[in-house]
Homo-oligomer: A and B are copies of this chain.
Amino acid sequence: MDQSPPRNTSVTVADVAHKAGVSKATAARVLGGYGTVSDRVREVVTAAARALDYRPNEIARSMTTGRSGTIGVVVGDIENPFFSLAVRGITDVARQAGFTVILINSGEDVAAEKAAIRTLLAKRVDGLIVSPAKESEVEHLREASRSGLPLALLDRGSDTLDVDTVIADDRHAAEGITRRLVALGHRRIAYLTACDTPDHRFHTADDINTGSVRRRIEGFLGVCREAGLAEMEDWVHVGAVTSEHTRRIVTAMLQSAQRPTAIIASDSVIGLEVFKVHREFGLSIPEDLSLVSFHDADWTSVTTPPVTVVRQPVYGLGETAAKLLVARLNGNGGEANRIVLRTEVVDRASVADAPA
């Protein structure tokens, strides 16, 4: 009795209309909530729909309206706490605005990113939020945008792409912490990032395709130059793409005769690895080595000593990007917005004077 027949074939407006004894058009009107219907008919149709357990088919609806009610999100890696928090911001806004989110990881690989965009385009998403793997390769994004699809860039911008962009003031943040380290007497300051170059070595900031990281490195190098430190390019290390890579790089660094007295980690995953390795070397932070990490990850406050970090408004990054996109989706036109959210240095105890 409680087991209704397993209906493999779903009930449609036509079914409801038939049961209610009205035309398909009328049933569609009350079910779809548009047009004008008499109260009596509305009741009959509603009752029929309930009796039949009618479920609207969004696919069919999208077919005619041209809107899918979904937004596509392409991030590097949802497993990274940075992105998972940003995505939380996006989904919260999207849900509230009546949109649903299709999530795809690019693994920071441009080819995968292109494939993702293609898939999303085929699914006819109403809008796109992307954290581009490479600023230098955004043709696929430009094309999507030019075809009229609203696009918002997350955490990484592109000068050549005139679309809504939400980033953090990475350069400023990097300048701040570098200045601080220099003031404390540090001269051998290493900057460590997951971004890679073809030969896995750093030459100039232009080699760095990830906008946010490039700006940080430019800030870092700029301040070093001001302070009269030469050839600090040699202290920028790229390719910390996995914890194994990071471990290898940090190990080489700490074993070197010219061991750095301070390390700036470009994200919390790298920062964590640096922290792990420094202990294996029996070094102590901050006496032997100062450490600053980007991203105020949860672990940074419970280590001994706790780690000084650049706190980025990660949730806000996603939230803002989604809000801009939703505004576009609601027809708000106008110039592309380029929003820069403020970061903040959270002073803890991993930074001190350079060892004598």
Residues in B neighbouring A79, C-beta threshold 8 A: 84-85, 88
Residues in B neighbouring A337, C-beta threshold 8 A: none
Interface residues on A, range: 35 or more
Q: How many copies of this chain does the complex contain?
A: 2
Interface 9-residue window, one of A94-102, A188-196, A225-233, A244-252 = A94-102
Interface 9-residue window, one of A33-41, A299-307, A325-333, A338-346 = A299-307
CB atoms of A122 and B299 under 8 A apart: no
Of the candidates B87, B276, B298, the one whose C-beta lies within 8 Å of that of A301 is B276
Residues in B neighbouring A101, C-beta threshold 8 A: 102-104
Interface 9-residue window, one of A57-65, A130-138, A160-168, A201-209 = A57-65
Interface residues of A in 271-285 (CB under 8 A from B): 272, 275-276
Task: Decide yes or no whether A121 CB sits under 8 A from chain B.
Answer: yes
Chain A contact residues, CB within 8 Å of chain B: 3, 6-8, 55-60, 62-63, 68-70, 77-79, 81, 84-85, 87-88, 91-92, 95, 100-105, 118-119, 121-124, 146-148, 269, 272, 275-276, 297-299, 301-304
The 10 closest A-B pairs by CB, nearest first: A299-B299, A84-B84, A304-B304, A79-B88, A58-B122, A58-B123, A103-B103, A59-B62, A59-B124, A302-B303
